[in-house]
Amino acid sequence: MMHQIGKKLTRLIQWFVLTLAATTSLNARAVSLGHITLESSLNQPLRASILLGNVQRLTPQDVRVGLAPRTAFQAMGVDWSSNLSDLDFRAVSSESGLRIELSTEASIVEPYLNFVLELVWPNGRLVREYTVLLDPPVLMAPVRPLDITPVQA
């Protein structure tokens, strides 16, 4: 009798360990959202990108990306702003992997954007908050050579 209980307990432990290992390996392969890289400045149309990690065989057609529902904004304590509806999101393939391109047609006049992004793929969903600080464009005056008059002694 004790032998049968021991066998059942061993099988139960094996099943638990296998289930835990399978779950852990699935989570380890979950898609991740990287940092946002800004390619524009204040008073310019927004151009930015986010590199996706752990995408394995995903293609741009496999993912759906955009602003998260307003309920996600509320849950994360992020204010919804009407200018966020001007954001365009697009998944694209690049040399470094799959990435998200963010853009606007109109210039961004606020010094920062705070939004919640939602990424959906066949095996999951990810929601993440991003804050983008827009610096004024650097305007450099053309460099002119100095006129130096030799001084006679």
Name the region of 144 (left: φ>0; alpha: ψ -120 to 50; beta: rest). Answer: beta
Between CA 89 and CA 80 the distance in angstroms is 17
Residues 28-71: pLDDT tens digits? Answer: 468 999 999 999 999 999 999 999 999 888 999 999 999 999 99
- pLDDT bin (cut points 50, 70, 90) of residue 145 is low
The 3-state DSSP composition of the chain as helix, strand, coil percent (nearest 5) reads 25, 40, 35
90 pLDDT exceeds 50? yes
- pLDDT bin (cut points 50, 70, 90) of residue 98 is very high
pTM score: 0.70
Helical H runs in the chain?
Answer: 2-28, 70-75
Between CA 87 and CA 67 the distance in angstroms is 8
Q: DSSP assignment, residue 110?
A: S
- pLDDT bin (cut points 50, 70, 90) of residue 23 is very low
Domains and CATH numbers, the chain: 32-133 (2.60.40.10)
The average confidence (pLDDT) of the chain is 82
7 pLDDT exceeds 80? no
Residues 70-88: pLDDT tens digits? Answer: 999 999 999 999 889 999 9
